[in-house]
Amino acid sequence: MKNVAQLPVGLFDSGMGGLTVFKALAQRLPTEDLLYLGDTARLPYGTKGRSTIVRYTLKAAQHLVDMGIKMLVVACNTATSAALPTLREHFSPLPVLGVVEPGAIAAASASRNGHIVVIATEATIAGGAYQHAIARIRPQAVVTGRACTLFVPLAEEGWMDGPLVEGIARRYLADVFHLADLPQQDSPQPDTLLLGCTHFPLLQGALQNVLGPKVRIVDSAATTAESVANELQRSGLMHPGQASGKYRFLTTDNTPRFAKTGAMFLGRPINEEELFLVDL
């Protein structure tokens, strides 16, 4: 019989964005098996209502749990902010980690002046999860949330830099970063941008060009991988083997988009034999 520690870590996302978290996890924990489920038939979650997101997330998580996983990582900001408490309750005692807390930690420790802008999908911003998580860690922080809806299709289209992408970024961020005018004394310049959506690291170069070198841009991928490592260590669930982990990618839609677009997020091609279609 298989030891629980030998089971894969399950990652769930609405689509391909969570592959940026997958990539960080594979780098930090190279001997762990990883099982990824992207709910591509229902993506994007970010413009949908909370109860719809919770329903979809529970269904997808159940599928991973039925396949056998030792931990669930919700590699999607929208699903984390809508459904994390429900998932923890439903699948207890399985450890369930999200990306919001690690992202909040990254931003709270990166910022010097405590003025942080978080950009994410409509659903994540409306839910306020990042604003609350940062307030818990650093109560004096001033956090401004901004929904950047077009960044998701932009990243998926592979348009990651150039004047159009920078123009779109400027339109979303000009007022919160006072890009058009001089900073006013009563409203200090934010010094940190938190990428609260797993798609957004692909646009980091363009965002840095727009905001200038003084603004620090952070995301939750690396800190989430660190949290997963800590949790596996704490609970004695680190994979006992020394060999490289095995990877499987499940999707709910049969379009070639997952492999094509996913490769950009993962930073390497996704092979046919790693890819499986599931019907949820």
Positions marked active-site: 76, 197
Tokens describing residue 91: 């699948």
Per CB under 8 A, the list member of 23, 42, 63, 115 interacting with a second copy is 42
Strands 216-219 and 192-195, by their bridges, are parallel
Q: Does 174 bind a second copy (CB under 8 A)?
A: no
Residue (50 or 88) nearer to a second copy, CB: 50
In which element (H, E) is residue 71 found? strand 71-74
Q: Decide: helix, strand or coil at residue 171.
A: helix
Stretch that binds a second copy, among 3-11, 47-55, 109-117, 228-236 (CB under 8 A): 47-55
Stretch that binds a second copy, among 28-36, 39-47, 67-75, 92-100 (CB under 8 A): 39-47
- What 108-113 contacts at long range (C-beta under 8 Å, 24+ apart), as own/partner pairs, is 108/134, 108/137, 108/138, 108/141, 110/192, 110/216, 110/218, 111/138, 111/141, 111/191, 111/192, 111/216, 112/191, 113/188, 113/189, 113/190, 113/191
Residue (13 or 101) nearer to a second copy, CB: 13
Q: Which of residues 241-280 bind a second copy (CB under 8 A)?
A: 252-255, 257
Tokens describing residue 77: 């900001």
Per CB under 8 A, the list member of 3, 27, 31, 52 interacting with a second copy is 52
Residue (135 or 160) nearer to a second copy, CB: 160
Q: Which of residues 118-157 bind a second copy (CB under 8 A)?
A: 122-123, 149-150, 152-154, 156-157
- Rounded CA-CA distance 195/204 in Å is 9
Are 192 and 119 a contacting pair, CB within 8 Å? Answer: no
Cross-sheet strand order for the sheet of 275-277: 96-97, 71-74, 9-13, 34-38, 247-251, 275-277
Strands 142-147 and 71-74, by their bridges, are unpaired
- Nearest to residue 266, comparing CAs of 82, 13, 58? 13
Stretch that binds a second copy, among 5-13, 61-69, 166-174, 234-242 (CB under 8 A): 166-174
- The interface mask with a second copy, positions 73-112, x = CB under 8 A, is ----------------------------------------
Residue (15 or 95) nearer to a second copy, CB: 15
Per CB under 8 A, the list member of 163, 188, 241, 269 interacting with a second copy is 163
Residue (4 or 164) nearer to a second copy, CB: 164
Stretch that binds a second copy, among 40-48, 82-90, 209-217, 224-232 (CB under 8 A): 40-48
Residue (163 or 241) nearer to a second copy, CB: 163
Q: Decide: helix, strand or coil at residue 158.
A: coil
Tokens describing residue 232: 């596996």
**Cα 268 to the center of its chain, rounded Å:** 18
Instruction: Work out how close the CB of 159 gets to a second copy at its nearest, in angstroms, rounded to a whole number.
Output: 8
| Binding stretches for a second copy (CB under 8 A) | 40-42, 47-49, 51-52, 122-123, 149-150, 152-154, 156-157, 159, 163-164, 167-168, 171, 252-255, 257
